[in-house]
Amino acid sequence: MLLSRRSLLATGLAAGAVLPVLRLPARAQAASETLRFGLSSYPPNLQPWINSGGAAGSVSALLHRGLLSYAADGSLQGELAESWQPDGDKAWVFRLRQALFHNGDPVTAADVQWNIEQVAGEKSTAYLRTQLQGVERVETPDDRTVRLVMKQPTVCVPHWFANYYMPIVAKGSTADDPLGIGAGPFVLQGQERGVSLDLVAFDKYYKPGLPKLKAVKIIAYPDETLRVAALQAGDVDLIDYVPWQSMQSIEADPNLKLDNQLGPFMYLTFNGRSGPFADPRIRRAVALGIKREEIVQAAFFGRGAPLEGLPFAPETPYYDEAAAHGWRYDKDKAKALLAEAGVADGFSCTLLSTAQYGMHKNTAEVVQQNLAELGIQVELNMPDWPTRVSLGNRGQYEFAVMGTAMESPDPESLSSFVDSSLSPSYIRSAGITVPGLNELLAAGRGEFDIARRKEIYAKAGQLVLDQAPMVTLAYRAQGFAMRKALQGFRNLPGGLSFYSLSTADQSFFA
């Protein structure tokens, strides 16, 4: 029996837009063949190519596949493309495998070309629109070959096509159905708006013998306490966003297991169009005025680490110890910057966050308390998650708490947070352009030599530290919890944790 589903709606569960459904014959499923997934939020929408948050991304990872994805060790692996390689300094060639969409049509080069054109189109609101506008042309010499010719050399193209915001759907399929027709391991069979989604296995999935599950029942539990209770009671088999205060009890439960990764992080974005945060000195003062260890303890119960600078992982060639601590707490320097900016006595402002996720709420409260010590009086705005995303996309905030991860191991992922030429998004600041930064990021994308790339990103990183177009706060443990009987599901390493539902095609109950 599900825990208080109707009562959740009565207490404010955000309802997403009605999603078109591809109707399939209903099939009775044995309990051991159906994964019951307690999801932290009902997806605001499931349109392909749009960033609607991690919950929508998890569902997309079940319904869709792109050309590439990430393996359990974080390396790139083929999906709809069985191989990929550079061709000269500007082109990439993808060789498609034999695969079918959910309507039974084959996945062809023409489908891939159409997807790229839709994402890069003039009126597109796609997350990767700006990146794919760098495509000069798409060649399709045969049905299974795609040759992508870029306007400039671009080393990170494969990572773009591993992003779950770049699924490949059947050509023209979004005209009558905004969801599109995908080629993933599961098909959307039905839904109860704002409450649940029912998925069934696609019997013509291109990976032999997969998916092992017959169905996935997704149930939205925006209340994290109820989400944990549902797992402990056996009402669901898997939950995301395990609250940090519950991790110890889950680890101690002989029927459950916890899979954690340290990589996602919390940070601040700013509205630079007007108001105090248009001044980089004030943004930098904020960066220096936050006691990050307090966030680790208050929001993550010690299961995290302070993040005082650039979010490059230590195991990558682009990590620099000094840059990683460029915003170390320094109250005196923060107050001096405020005085230099003409607000020595502080000012009042509003911080956008959300009460739906404890990590966002608790992080915002620590920021509020720390900045009060600098004379900055912060009022908290805590709407539900879909509203917070909408306000962020529209730039209707002064500054905001955000949490996500580097989208790939490539340093190009920094662009997602600080490149002002990209389409507006709630994950990055609004109206802030750092002179010279976009040009350095573009140079980094086009440089294949690692030593030269390191020099470029070191310069870009220094600009980020000096101008603070975003301010990092803390790494956090990102956890999935599940019944021990669930096998094959993997929490992908580091920042790739958000892509983990792509491993559900290999999941089964022992």
Please check whether residues 280 and 246 belong to one and the same domain. no
Residue 143 has pLDDT above 60, yes or no: yes
Provide the whole-model pTM: 0.80
Q: What confidence category does residue 21 fall into, taking pLDDT thresholds of 50, 70 and 90?
A: very low
- Write down the pLDDT at residue 242: 95
- Write down the pLDDT at residue 70: 95
Q: Is there a domain that residue 87 lies in?
A: no
Reported as a single tens digit per residue, the pLDDT across 466-487 is 999 999 999 999 999 999 999 9
Reported as a single tens digit per residue, the pLDDT across 268-286 is 999 999 999 999 999 999 9
Please check whether residues 228 and 344 belong to one and the same domain. no
Q: Is there a domain that residue 277 lies in?
A: yes
Please check whether residues 245 and 348 belong to one and the same domain. no
Q: What is the CATH number of the domain that holds 496?
A: 3.40.190.10
- Domain extent, residue 360, equals 264-476
Say if CB 157 and CB 93 are below 8 A apart.
Answer: no
What is the spatial distance between Cα 442 and Cα 454, in angstroms, rounded to a whole number? 13
Q: Is there a domain that residue 143 lies in?
A: no
Give the pairing of strands 399-404 and 486-487. unpaired
Per-residue burial over 97-135, b = 16 or more CB atoms within 10 Å of its CB, e = otherwise:
eebbbbeeeebbbebbbbbbebbbeeebebbbbbbbebb
Number of folded domains that form the chain: 2
Please check whether residues 423 and 275 belong to one and the same domain. yes
Please check whether residues 465 and 482 belong to one and the same domain. no
What is the spatial distance between Cα 295 and Cα 249, in angstroms, rounded to a whole number? 21
Please check whether residues 458 and 320 belong to one and the same domain. yes
Reported as a single tens digit per residue, the pLDDT across 242-273 is 999 999 999 999 999 999 999 899 999 999 99
Reported as a single tens digit per residue, the pLDDT across 160-204 is 999 999 999 999 999 989 999 999 999 999 999 999 999 999 999
What is the spatial distance between Cα 15 and Cα 503, in angstroms, rounded to a whole number? 27
What is the spatial distance between Cα 59 and Cα 57, in angstroms, rounded to a whole number? 5
Please check whether residues 326 and 410 belong to one and the same domain. yes
Residues in the chain: 510
Residue 22 has pLDDT above 80, yes or no: no
Token pair listed for 76: 């790139």
Q: What is the CATH number of the domain that holds 339?
A: 3.10.105.10
3-state secondary structure of 418: helix
Q: Is there a domain that residue 32 lies in?
A: no
Q: Is there a domain that residue 378 lies in?
A: yes
Please check whether residues 328 and 462 belong to one and the same domain. yes
Please check whether residues 385 and 340 belong to one and the same domain. yes
Residue type, 122: E
- Write down the pLDDT at residue 31: 53
Q: What's the whole-number mean pLDDT along residues 283-305?
A: 97
Reported as a single tens digit per residue, the pLDDT across 77-106 is 999 999 999 999 999 999 999 999 999 999
DSSP 52: -
Please name the residue that has the structure tokens 């997806």. Answer: 43
Say if CB 479 and CB 242 are below 8 A apart.
Answer: yes
What is the spatial distance between Cα 483 and Cα 449, in angstroms, rounded to a whole number? 45
Specify the higher pLDDT residue, 24 or 99: 99
Please check whether residues 318 and 407 belong to one and the same domain. yes
Q: What confidence category does residue 316 fall into, taking pLDDT thresholds of 50, 70 and 90?
A: confident
Q: Is there a domain that residue 150 lies in?
A: no
Please check whether residues 504 and 454 belong to one and the same domain. no
Please check whether residues 428 and 495 belong to one and the same domain. no
Q: Is there a domain that residue 500 lies in?
A: yes
Residue 23 has pLDDT above 90, yes or no: no
What is the spatial distance between Cα 232 and Cα 226, in angstroms, rounded to a whole number? 10
Q: Is there a domain that residue 63 lies in?
A: no
